[in-house]
Structure 1
Amino acid sequence: MIRPYTTFAVIALSLLSRAPACGADDAEDARLNGAFDVYLKESFRREPMSATRLGDHAYDDRLDDVSPEARRANLEFLRETLERLGRDVHPDQLSPAGKVDHDVFRRNLEASIWLRETFDPFRDDPRVYGDYVAESVYLPLTQSTLPREVNKRNVLKRMQEVPRILETARRTIGRPPRVKVETAVRQAEGAVSFYKAELFQLVGDKPGEGELTEPAAKIVEALTKYIAFLKDEVLPRRGEEWRIGREKFVKKLDYELDAGLSADEVLAEAEREATRVESEMGVFARHLWSEYFPGVAVPPDDEAGRREMIRRVLGRIGDDHGTAETLVADAKGTVRAIQEFIRAKNILGLPDPDQLRIIEMPEFMRGNSVAYLNPAPPLDARGSSEYAISPPPSEWSRERAESFLHEYNRAMLQILTIHEAYPGHYVQLEYSNRCPSKIRRVLSSGTFAEGWAVYTEQMMLDQGFGGGSVPLRLQQLKFYLRAVVNAILDNKMHCGGMTDAEARELLVGRAFQTDGEAEGKIIRSKQSSCQLSTYFVGRTAFSRLRRAVQREQGDRFDLGRYHEAVLSEGTIPVKHLPQLVRARLAETGQGAR
């Protein structure tokens, strides 16, 4: 997954030189872009964390006012911006590219307003405060391209604001669900570790020395009291209802996907696809059975027998794994072969220079996923990107840690690196950061990003990565089945009354996940809604477009140029892709016959 921006390394020049700009310079387009610039400037003044995440460092020395009064004022600002956009910009006078930008801007405003009117994470989700407590300091020190001393001065001032954030949290948090409180506690404990050690490593000081020592100690003291507050006061009064309900889910999913599909259509298509993928997995598992279980009869050829066969074969594949200590190094070890394959097979042009760092996930960011890609911010695109992986926590039992490592075995790590890095999230977002349209760079679509990453997993193996390894293909199908089942889980957990036991049966019994992975996914589904559907819906959109364009072009289809055309339009809602990709291919001499 990618670390999302709030509602709110360079691609080879040859790629950009043959691509037209994403926007036009006519008067109405200029008016739209001017309106967006005004909006961004005021948004960043009101919410400095948004500015930092997006790479504008003018406000890196301050933090948001997260009081209820300030948040109400920010909501009113969004409403006023939407009203002015409708009054001052005329969509019928925009260029084709400008019409897309206008739709992206308008829909983002509408979604932001609805989300803030409908949900209050500052009251109902204490995890939100963790962004201001630790990420606010971590990002300038790891991604900003400003001089090191400037970043250090900025975070010093920002650190002085952290106790204020925690005090606001104590006054604001209501009765959040237990699952969110428990994650917030773990992340806050990770933040304590950050301020005791990692912070000093990032700035080049020894722990306990330098000008950051005193403010860091004050934050640790404030965090210690905050953790006690969460444990002693919030947990006893916590709520248990984490489901958002069908009405809200349907509306939120429409904004999240922006793909022209209803919640019922997504669920029905995911159910059909899960059945198809399971059948395909059965074919590959049958090929491997005699190798892994010589002399043992293949299980009966029915649904139960097929699932037993797949599960046992996957179990043998999972036996080949590293340790908690080597997990990050093992992921790094997958990179060179993947990069060389992409270049040799002309999959697409890779970023040059490469700005990706593969790291162990900071403790204060753990609790939502096993891995993420934190991209270089679009307004400071020469900053670094981070592919972060979370090893099993040291407090886990040996059995639970072994289950985790069994899931993230050596074959799975190759698929995970394709998804998160090459040619998945990292490469795609580097392309996106070079799109001339600021609107598209800043207001990115999670459905596009996740869909592209899932699409690349099968595409790479189809082009020959892994040399036709059947175990690797079976692992890829398992990873894809996870994306499909994510959409089913997302809907049934929030629209229906799916229990933990039913969710576990879906994940373990139907999607062949280990118990540890299933437990983590159930927790994640309770802490979020609709994001889990983006993987399947986005991948489906990419696969359908690829099939259509390839059939239209026949022998003239060039996979590398097609991929570059897809990525050069920015991280846009997938509903716009068919029109824009065909237009770009036509301009580069690859249009339909």
Structure 2
Amino acid sequence: MTRHRSSFLVLALVAASGLSIAADDPGGLPEDARLNALFRDYLTETFHREPLSATRLGEHGFDDKLDDLSPEAREANLQLRRDTLARLRKEVVVDRLSRPSKIDYDVFLRHLESTIWLGETFHPFRDDPRVYGDYATESVYLLLTQSSLPREVNRRNALERMRQVPRVLETARKTIGRPPRVKVETAIRQTEGAVGFYKTELFRLAGDPPGEGQLAADAAKLVGLLSDYLAFLKTEVLPRSTDDWRIGRELFVKKLDYELDAGLTADEVLAEAEREAVRVETEMSVFARQIWSEFFPGVAVPPDDPAGRSEMTRRVLERIGDDHGTADSLVADARSTVHAIKDFISARKILALPEPDQCRIIEMPEFMRGNSVAYLNPAPPLDSRGSSEYSISPPPADWSRERADSLLREYNRSMLKILTIHEAYPGHYVQLEYSNKCPSFIRLVLSSGTFAEGWAVYTEQMMLDQGFGGGDVKLRLQQLKFYLRAVVNAILDNKMHCGAMTDAEARDLLMNRAFQTEGEAVGKIIRSKQSSCQLSTYFVGRTAFYRLRQSVQREQGDRFDLARFHEAALSEGTLPVKFLPELVRARLAVTKEK
């Protein structure tokens, strides 16, 4: 999973300032320059209105400011997008654009249309108290962890932002209505993490001694305000919260179309995912049968029927899960997988790895937990010296021993290798480093979550197909289980929001169909209630990459070069997958001629 750049549909605009970009492309057409100028105007204005978006993308000219979250300001921001969309349709003649700029036009147009529709349809500042945490804590955290400006500058900007957090919390109190309970509960846990951040972690990141100086004084004030806000969430918002979290079929269908931008309907995605789930289950049973006798010597293999094959696979996976670390060692265990994976990528010429390596593996901050076990927080595209964070969340301290053990069994030593492939090498981290070098300004900053998640899932099988793990059947079974999770994500996403799937039915799907442990299943159900459509991006994106790879490889035969294919696929930005076939083939044709 990636944060912030996972989709261009997020309400907090993911965009970059044009201040550091040349005004014109001397090799482009006049209409191309007109499109880029309009985009720069839009972004420059956006950054004045939404400073946190600027920070996220590496434009540091607004790091000492925080967004105005009042209803009037948010409506003005939405109007800016409406006006920009009208200008785009009126001022830019599509037929006069070069082919690359026609793609940029489509990306920009869809971004505006989707953010306008989302802003008019959903109301997260009223219905999702989690959003305020981004402004209260993440806005400061990013300055101290990702900005390449001098530490003292980042510290000074952090102080300025901290002094504006009370305004954010006051807006939250006035704005939050009757949100879904599941979102309130996550907001409570994240706010507890925010209190802890301002008590301790802030000082480590800023390089200041705890309890001394102006930073300590301002942090103490925020601890008090956040504690009061936490009480507000617990005593006022939680009691009035609802169980109304489904968005319904009509909204899901339209939102999914914007989220995927892949030319597939919701019904088509569901039908294909259900077919693929059956295929993957069958393949898993083949590998489980190969190692049954290793775990159960002398015990008869279960009957060769659907129920028996499922039982066999589940029991083998449970035994593989026995080999796991502890809550304290989870992050270190993930770090230990990196060197072997990177060495393999280089030795087998999977693709060229980014240099220098700027990916840090860290324990997920408390105030960011509650949505997933791991994510990649990518380096911002406008700050080339910024770093990425591959964050992993150990089981929360308040979990029961049984529930914590369930999560650790899910993320056993074999699964951690697959997770690191997905999140970092050659998954999200590598892909987004390539994306940050994309020559298209628009594609540099407007990104598709379907592309990002699809690439990460594609790499899991690809790495093992190329020989990573030396043919370890246990590792292959874990990879298939991880992929089945992506497939079932799409089924869960649809049935939770389009239908009336209950928690019990969801648990049955995740645990008995997808072989997930209880801890993982509970977390995924919570995540599916808190979001919609994002869970479908993994399967749809992976299918796009996998089918394109098969098609190109068939066309090229013995001339096919895996590294060249991968680098072609990653060099055009994190763009909608509907453009992949055209752009990859065009780039491969150019590199062949050279």
Per the TM alignment, residue 209 of structure 1 is displaced from its structure 2 partner at its CA by 1.2
Q: Which residue of 2 aligns with 1:575?
A: 578
- The correspondence of residues 391-410 of structure 1 with structure 2, limited to 5 A, is 391-410=394-413
SS of 2:61 mapped into structure 1: coil
C-alpha offsets along residues 266-313 of structure 1, whole Å, 9 cap, x if unaligned?
A: 000000000000000000000010111000000111111111000000
Which of 375, 380, 384 is equivalent to 1:377? Answer: 380
- Asked whether the equivalents of residues 192 and 220 of structure 1 are also in contact (C-alpha less than 8 Å), the reply is yes
1:254 has 2:263 as partner: no
Q: Which residue of 2 aligns with 1:315?
A: 318
Matching residue's letter, 1:91: V
Per the TM alignment, residue 508 of structure 1 is displaced from its structure 2 partner at its CA by 0.3
- The correspondence of residues 494-509 of structure 1 with structure 2, limited to 5 A, is 494-509=497-512
- The correspondence of residues 474-553 of structure 1 with structure 2, limited to 5 A, is 474-553=477-556
- Asked whether the equivalents of residues 422 and 456 of structure 2 are also in contact (C-alpha less than 8 Å), the reply is yes
C-alpha offsets along residues 397-423 of structure 1, whole Å, 9 cap, x if unaligned?
A: 111111010000000000000000000
1:417 has 2:420 as partner: yes
SS of 2:324 mapped into structure 1: coil
Q: Which residue of 2 aligns with 1:240?
A: 243
1:264 has 2:270 as partner: no
Matching residue's letter, 1:122: F
1:26 has 2:29 as partner: yes
Matching residue's letter, 2:4: P
d(CA) in 2 for partners of 1:64, 1:23? 35
- Asked whether the equivalents of residues 22 and 436 of structure 1 are also in contact (C-alpha less than 8 Å), the reply is no
d(CA) in 1 for partners of 2:89, 2:385? 34
Which of 437, 441, 447 is equivalent to 1:444? Answer: 447
Q: Which residue of 1 aligns with 2:72?
A: 69
Q: Which residue of 2 aligns with 1:276?
A: 279
Matching residue's letter, 1:321: H
Which of 328, 332, 343 is equivalent to 1:329? Answer: 332
d(CA) in 1 for partners of 2:439, 2:155? 31
Per the TM alignment, residue 23 of structure 1 is displaced from its structure 2 partner at its CA by 10
Per the TM alignment, residue 381 of structure 1 is displaced from its structure 2 partner at its CA by 2.5
d(CA) in 2 for partners of 1:4, 1:511? 28
Larger mean CA deviation between 201-210 and 489-498 belongs to: 201-210
Per the TM alignment, residue 206 of structure 1 is displaced from its structure 2 partner at its CA by 1.2
Matching residue's letter, 1:210: G
SS of 1:358 mapped into structure 2: strand
Which of 88, 94, 99 is equivalent to 1:96? Answer: 99
Q: Which residue of 1 aligns with 2:83?
A: 80
Which of 223, 229, 240 is equivalent to 1:226? Answer: 229
Which runs of 4 or more aligned residues in structure 1 lie more than 3 Å from their structure 2 counterparts after TM superposition? 21-24
Q: Which residue of 2 aligns with 1:17?
A: none
d(CA) in 2 for partners of 1:536, 1:419? 13
Matching residue's letter, 1:29: D
The runs of 5 or more residues in structure 1 that have no matched partner are 9-20
C-alpha offsets along residues 8-59 of structure 1, whole Å, 9 cap, x if unaligned?
A: 3xxxxxxxxxxxx999522111111111111111011001111111111111
Q: Which residue of 2 aligns with 1:557?
A: 560
d(CA) in 2 for partners of 1:331, 1:555? 36
- Asked whether the equivalents of residues 489 and 535 of structure 2 are also in contact (C-alpha less than 8 Å), the reply is yes
Per the TM alignment, residue 239 of structure 1 is displaced from its structure 2 partner at its CA by 1.4
- Asked whether the equivalents of residues 258 and 573 of structure 1 are also in contact (C-alpha less than 8 Å), the reply is yes
1:432 has 2:435 as partner: yes
Matching residue's letter, 1:3: R
Matching residue's letter, 2:126: R
Which of 6, 13, 16 is equivalent to 1:7? Answer: 13
Per the TM alignment, residue 4 of structure 1 is displaced from its structure 2 partner at its CA by 2.1
- Asked whether the equivalents of residues 431 and 568 of structure 1 are also in contact (C-alpha less than 8 Å), the reply is yes
Matching residue's letter, 2:269: V
Per the TM alignment, residue 451 of structure 1 is displaced from its structure 2 partner at its CA by 0.1
C-alpha offsets along residues 505-538 of structure 1, whole Å, 9 cap, x if unaligned?
A: 0000100000110000000000000000000000
- Asked whether the equivalents of residues 244 and 494 of structure 1 are also in contact (C-alpha less than 8 Å), the reply is yes
Per the TM alignment, residue 80 of structure 1 is displaced from its structure 2 partner at its CA by 0.2
d(CA) in 1 for partners of 2:67, 2:60? 14
- Asked whether the equivalents of residues 447 and 535 of structure 1 are also in contact (C-alpha less than 8 Å), the reply is yes
d(CA) in 2 for partners of 1:495, 1:24? 48
Per the TM alignment, residue 211 of structure 1 is displaced from its structure 2 partner at its CA by 1.9
d(CA) in 1 for partners of 2:452, 2:491? 20
- The correspondence of residues 46-65 of structure 1 with structure 2, limited to 5 A, is 46-65=49-68
CA RMSD of aligned residues (A): 1.2
Per the TM alignment, residue 7 of structure 1 is displaced from its structure 2 partner at its CA by 3.3
Matching residue's letter, 2:347: A
C-alpha offsets along residues 89-148 of structure 1, whole Å, 9 cap, x if unaligned?
A: 111111111011110001000000000000000000000000001000000111111111
- Asked whether the equivalents of residues 110 and 258 of structure 2 are also in contact (C-alpha less than 8 Å), the reply is yes
d(CA) in 2 for partners of 1:410, 1:243? 35
Q: Which residue of 2 aligns with 1:15?
A: none
Q: Which residue of 2 aligns with 1:174?
A: 177
TM-score (norm 2): 0.96
- Asked whether the equivalents of residues 439 and 572 of structure 2 are also in contact (C-alpha less than 8 Å), the reply is no
Larger mean CA deviation between 239-248 and 207-216 belongs to: 207-216
- Asked whether the equivalents of residues 452 and 542 of structure 1 are also in contact (C-alpha less than 8 Å), the reply is yes
SS of 2:60 mapped into structure 1: coil
C-alpha offsets along residues 224-258 of structure 1, whole Å, 9 cap, x if unaligned?
A: 11111111111111111000000000000000000
- Asked whether the equivalents of residues 70 and 171 of structure 2 are also in contact (C-alpha less than 8 Å), the reply is yes
Matching residue's letter, 1:198: E
Per the TM alignment, residue 590 of structure 1 is displaced from its structure 2 partner at its CA by 7.1
- Asked whether the equivalents of residues 331 and 363 of structure 2 are also in contact (C-alpha less than 8 Å), the reply is yes
Q: Which residue of 2 aligns with 1:588?
A: 591
Q: Which residue of 1 aligns with 2:349?
A: 346
Q: Which residue of 2 aligns with 1:367?
A: 370
TM-score (norm 1): 0.97
Q: Which residue of 2 aligns with 1:12?
A: none
- Asked whether the equivalents of residues 126 and 176 of structure 1 are also in contact (C-alpha less than 8 Å), the reply is yes
Matching residue's letter, 1:411: S
Q: Which residue of 1 aligns with 2:8?
A: none
Larger mean CA deviation between 209-218 and 559-568 belongs to: 209-218
Matching residue's letter, 1:432: S
- Asked whether the equivalents of residues 91 and 99 of structure 1 are also in contact (C-alpha less than 8 Å), the reply is yes
Q: Which residue of 1 aligns with 2:458?
A: 455
d(CA) in 2 for partners of 1:580, 1:233? 52
d(CA) in 2 for partners of 1:27, 1:209? 57
d(CA) in 1 for partners of 2:334, 2:593? 37
d(CA) in 1 for partners of 2:50, 2:95? 32
Q: Which residue of 1 aligns with 2:291?
A: 288
d(CA) in 2 for partners of 1:366, 1:268? 32
- Asked whether the equivalents of residues 321 and 409 of structure 1 are also in contact (C-alpha less than 8 Å), the reply is yes
The runs of 5 or more residues in structure 2 that have no matched partner are 6-11, 15-23
d(CA) in 1 for partners of 2:310, 2:148? 51
Per the TM alignment, residue 544 of structure 1 is displaced from its structure 2 partner at its CA by 0.5
SS of 1:295 mapped into structure 2: coil
Per the TM alignment, residue 210 of structure 1 is displaced from its structure 2 partner at its CA by 2.4
